[in-house]
């Protein structure tokens, strides 16, 4: 049995060493710190444990301190801003996933969020570039799960964008780091875009990271956000990510919400020739509207020479002969003769074609 006291003599907790086996760090000093964290209200890296005047290392086994009851004292260390050298080493350890070096620096303890006014460190770390990101951002961008967990445990801010336009959650979603997205969401990462930046859901949809898209949708991410001219469904349709488009539709995303050119997802799929996505959107009732330039989805498909897309559009559109003529003309100008033959010879093909 272990009794833990503050320096003032106030008892903090009485802990059975065997119960620490349930913590991530077992019956070690670090395991006891993990147990004390909610009672002390600070990250474990700010806690120091002392036995008989000796500071105990994190990996010391409590069982090895001797049989019978024992009294330990807990000290709360105040974090301080890192100096330039410490900040550079912290970023290097985070980016390289060097767990032991990272923990040693955080044990000082230094603040993993305090990066303001470190111009010299920024220049040294980034090779003269002015942009400066947090250690959490660097660890996330390289996919170092353990380093991210350590930094979050040390109180790293999960939503700080720093000088970069995106947050750790955004870069994790972009890279398809599923487990990191889970950890960051659990740490209350925001799913919206900060400032005028796109959202994590948008970038995951753009990259076709379907498992990440599923996580973000489950976390309540806005499926219709259009911050810089594109919705998640528009960018998924443009890049040919059928599974993501299907997921967004099932989640209730607006299939008619346009980009800044007045073009909904159907246009993006037609422009790139993604016939399976065109079929899906048409089956879900997508309308064949014109964009701000007066161009129809058929016109866009004809311009790109996408024959199978044009067939799908003709099967579900009305007999707009003016649109068919305009589409045939642009196809002719672009040398897409198979499209011209389709439009001039069979304006409205049967469903069986």
Strand runs labelled E in 9-153: 11-15, 47-51, 54-55, 70-76
pLDDT of residue 347: 44
pLDDT of residue 350: 43
Q: Give the architecture-level CATH label for domain 2-76.
A: Roll (3.10)
Contact 168, 131 (CB under 8 A): no
| Domain pair 79-155 / 165-275, same fold | yes
Residues in Cβ contact with 63 at an 8 Å cutoff, skipping those fewer than 6 apart: 17, 27
pLDDT at 346: 55
Q: What is the pLDDT of residue 272?
A: 97
Token pair in block for residue 293: 């330039």
Q: Helix, strand, or coil here: 88?
A: helix
CB 277, CB 245: distance < 8 Å: yes
pLDDT digits (tens, 9 = 90+) for 81-130: 898 889 889 999 999 999 999 999 999 999 998 765 455 555 555 554 55
- 97: burial class by Cβ within 10 Å (0-12, 13-18, 19+)? middle
Task: State the DSSP code for 76.
Answer: E
- Hey, where are the domains in the chain? 2-76, 79-155, 165-275, 288-353
In the structure, what pLDDT confidence band is assigned to residue 319 with cuts at 50, 70 and 90? low
Query: Which of 44-48, 61-65, 124-128, 273-277 is the least confident region?
Result: 124-128
Among residues 54, 18, 51, 15, the alpha carbon closest in space to that of 35 is found at 15
**pLDDT value at position 84?**
85
Mean pLDDT of 317-344: 90
Average pLDDT of span 219-233: 88
pLDDT recorded at residue 348: 45
**Predicted pLDDT of residue 349:** 43
Q: Of all residues in the chain, what percent carry a pLDDT higher than 70?
A: 90
Give the pLDDT of residue 64: 84
Write down the pLDDT at residue 117: 46
Average pLDDT over residues 273-291: 96
Q: Coil, strand or helix: which one is 30?
A: helix
Average pLDDT value over all residues in the chain: 88
pLDDT at 161 over 90: no
The pLDDT, as a whole number, for residue 353 is 40
Average pLDDT over residues 277-290: 95
The CATH class that applies to domain 165-275 reads mainly alpha
Q: Per mean pLDDT, which of 25-34, 65-74, 151-160, 203-212 is the most reliable?
A: 203-212
- Is the pLDDT confidence value at 267 over 70? yes
High-pLDDT (> 90) share of the chain, %: 69
At 61 the three-state DSSP class reads strand
> DSSP letter string over 98-138?
-HHHHHHHHTS-B-TT--TT-HHHHHHHHTT-S----HHHH
pLDDT of residue 66: 76
pLDDT at position 196: 59
Mean pLDDT of the region 281-285:
96
Q: 34 versus 117: which is more confidently predicted?
A: 34
- What is the structure's pLDDT at 119? 53
Task: Give mean pLDDT, residues 192-198.
Answer: 71
CATH architecture type of domain 79-155: Alpha Horseshoe (1.25)
Q: Is the pLDDT score of 277 beyond 50? A: yes
Please classify residue 306 by burial: count the beta carbons closer than 10 Å to its beta carbon, then call 0-12 exposed, 13-18 middle and 19+ buried.
Answer: buried
State residue 352's pLDDT score: 42
Answer for the pair 2, 72: CB distance below 8 angstroms, yes or no.
Answer: yes
């Amino acid at each position: 049995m272990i009794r833990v006291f503050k320096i003032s003599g106030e008892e903090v907790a009485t802990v059975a060493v065997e119960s620490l086996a349930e913590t991530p760090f077992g019956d070690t000093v670090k395991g006891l710190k993990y147990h004390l964290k909610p009672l002390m209200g600070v990250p474990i890296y700010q806690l120091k444990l002392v036995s008989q005047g000796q500071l105990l290392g994190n990996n010391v086994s409590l069982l090895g301190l001797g049989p019978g009851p024992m009294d330990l004292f807990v000290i709360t260390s105040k974090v301080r801003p890192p100096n330039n050298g410490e900040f550079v080493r912290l970023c290097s350890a985070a980016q390289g996933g060097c767990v032991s070096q990272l923990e040693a620096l955080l044990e000082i303890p230094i603040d993993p969020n305090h990066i303001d006014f470190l111009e010299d460190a920024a220049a040294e770390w980034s090779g003269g570039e002015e942009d400066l990101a947090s250690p959490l951002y660097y660890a996330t961008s390289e996919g170092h799960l353990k380093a991210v967990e350590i930094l979050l445990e040390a109180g790293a801010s999960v939503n700080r964008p720093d000088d970069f336009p995106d947050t750790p959650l955004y870069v994790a979603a972009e890279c398809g780091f599923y487990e990191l997205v889970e950890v960051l969401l659990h740490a209350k990462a925001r799913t919206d875009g900060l400032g005028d930046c796109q959202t994590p859901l948008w970038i995951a949809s753009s990259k076709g990271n379907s498992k990440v898209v599923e996580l973000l949708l489950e976390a309540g991410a806005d499926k219709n956000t259009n911050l810089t001219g594109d919705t998640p469904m528009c960018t998924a349709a443009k890049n040919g990510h059928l599974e993501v488009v299907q997921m967004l539709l099932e989640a209730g995303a607006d299939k008619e919400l346009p980009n800044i050119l007045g073009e909904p997802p159907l246009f993006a799929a037609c422009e790139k020739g993604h016939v399976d996505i065109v079929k899906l959107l048409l089956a879900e009732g997508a309308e064949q509207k014109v964009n701000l330039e007066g161009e129809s989805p058929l016109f866009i498909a004809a311009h790109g020479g996408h024959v199978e897309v044009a067939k799908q559009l003709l099967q579900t559109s009305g007999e707009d002969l003016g649109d068919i003529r305009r589409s045939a003309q642009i196809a002719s100008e672009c040398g897409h003769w198979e499209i011209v033959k389709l439009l001039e010879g069979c304006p409205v093909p049967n469903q069986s074609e």
